[in-house]
């Protein structure tokens, strides 16, 4: 079972778009997938047409041990979802005093089995929620937008992952970096992509997620790109990224 945290403390880099479409794309290729929305903004949850504010059980209740995994998991198309809620916005305050606070997610999911992939959409910060994801996960995938300032904070993110690996989770590795909103006609995008490859080297996926209007439209319909416009560049690119990730797993 591959447990992957999708992380970047910078917002607007395509992290949630990547999480949602990987979940659907991998499930369409026969994998059993669980997506965990660990972002207080609940963007992944709402993107899939689920109204977070109407739910009684979410990942927040699970972390507080007020609900178990079977109580909160939702079947969504070909994959499962643990939804988020706005209550997570207070997590750093309400959960920080609990014993083993960095292991809350790991403990809540300790008996969860039967999935090929567990994907965790992390908040755009390096706070307690992201720390929980990194303590539980075995792999990290970073989304980086090919725009100016894209690499700002990346070194801090790298150092955070290394710190968690040393102190809390020695199996954690950055196994992939995906460049998003890429336009090959723009010199800046090409330059940023080259800098990303220089920094992360072989960890960068060959697949570039091209700038695609349909990727921005799909969440407003509560759909993944494969449901909304399966013939779009977005669907083609995320399909190729899924294939790379599956091939990566075959080599282990």
User: Tens digit of pLDDT for each residue in 146-170?
Assistant: 877 777 778 888 889 999 999 999 9
pLDDT of residue 250: 74
Looking at the chain, list the stretches that DSSP marks H as alpha helix, in order from N- to C-terminal side. Answer: 15-28, 43-47, 59-63, 69-72, 91-94, 104-108, 128-136, 154-167, 187-200, 213-217, 225-228, 233-250
Q: Distance between CA atoms of 191 and 40, rounded to whole angstroms?
A: 33
The per-residue pLDDT for 252 is 59
Would you say residue 184 has pLDDT above 90?
no
pLDDT at 152: 77
> Does residue 117 carry a pLDDT above 80?
yes
**Six-digit token string for 213:** 């209007």
Q: What are phi and psi of 155, to 5 degrees?
A: -65, -40
Short-list 191, 166, 172, CA closest to 7:
172
> Structural domain of residue 129, as residue ranges?
2-250
The angle formed by the CA atoms of residues 28, 43 and 183, to the nearest 5 degrees, is: 70
DSSP annotation string for 162-215: HHHHHHT-TT-EEEEEEEEEE-TT-HHHHHHHHHHHHHHGGGEEEEEEE--HHH
Q: How far apart are CA 129 and CA 127, in angstroms?
A: 6
- Residue 67 is encoded by which pair of tokens? 């609900």
Is the pLDDT reported for residue 191 higher than 90?
no
Q: Average the pLDDT over 35-47 and give the result.
A: 95
Q: What is the pLDDT of residue 21?
A: 97
pLDDT given at position 33: 98
| CA nearest to 45, candidates 3, 80, 96, 71 | 80
Residue pair 146/193 in contact by the 8 Å Cβ criterion:
yes
Averaged pLDDT for residues 215-224: 96
Q: What is the CATH number of the domain that holds 26?
A: 3.40.50.300
Alpha-carbon distance values, 47 to 66, 200, 217, 220, 228 (Å):
25, 30, 10, 7, 12
Q: Give the span between the Cα atoms of 104 and 120, in whole angstroms.
A: 14
Q: What is the pLDDT of residue 2?
A: 97
Mean of per-residue pLDDT scores for the chain: 92
Residue 94 confidence class, pLDDT cut points 50, 70, 90? confident
Nearest Cα residue to 211 out of 179, 242, 175, 168: 179
**Number of domains comprising the chain:** 1
CB 212 within 8 A of CB 232: yes
pLDDT over 90 (residue 54) = no
pLDDT (0 to 100) of residue 251: 58
pLDDT at 102 over 90: yes
């Amino acid at each position: 079972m591959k447990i992957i945290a999708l992380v970047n403390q910078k917002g607007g880099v395509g992290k949630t778009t990547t999480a949602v479409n990987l979940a659907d794309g991998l499930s369409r290729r026969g994998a059993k997938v669980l997506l965990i929305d660990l972002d207080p903004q609940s963007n992944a949850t709402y993107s899939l047409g689920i109204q977070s504010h109407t739910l009684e059980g979410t990942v927040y209740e699970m972390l507080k041990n007020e609900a178990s995994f079977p109580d909160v998991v939702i079947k969504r198309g070909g994959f499962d979802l643990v939804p988020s809620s706005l209550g997570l916005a207070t997590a750093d305050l309400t959960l920080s005093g609990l014993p083993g606070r960095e292991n809350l997610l790991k403990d809540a999911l300790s008996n969860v089995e039967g999935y090929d992939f567990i994907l965790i959409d992390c908040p755009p910060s390096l706070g307690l929620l992201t720390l929980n994801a990194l303590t539980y996960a075995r792999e990290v995938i970073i989304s980086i937008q090919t725009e100016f300032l894209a690499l700002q904070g990346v070194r801090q993110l790298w150092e955070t992952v290394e710190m968690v690996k040393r102190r809390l989770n020695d199996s954690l590795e950055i196994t992939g970096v995906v460049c998003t909103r890429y336009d090959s006609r723009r010199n800046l995008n090409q330059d940023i992509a080259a800098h990303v490859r220089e920094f992360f080297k072989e960890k960068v996926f060959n697949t570039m997620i091209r700038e695609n209007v349909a990727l921005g439209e799909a969440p407003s319909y509560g759909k993944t790109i494969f449901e909304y416009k399966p013939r779009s560049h977005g669907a083609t690119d995320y399909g190729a990224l899924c294939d790379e990730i599956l091939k990566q797993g075959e080599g282990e």
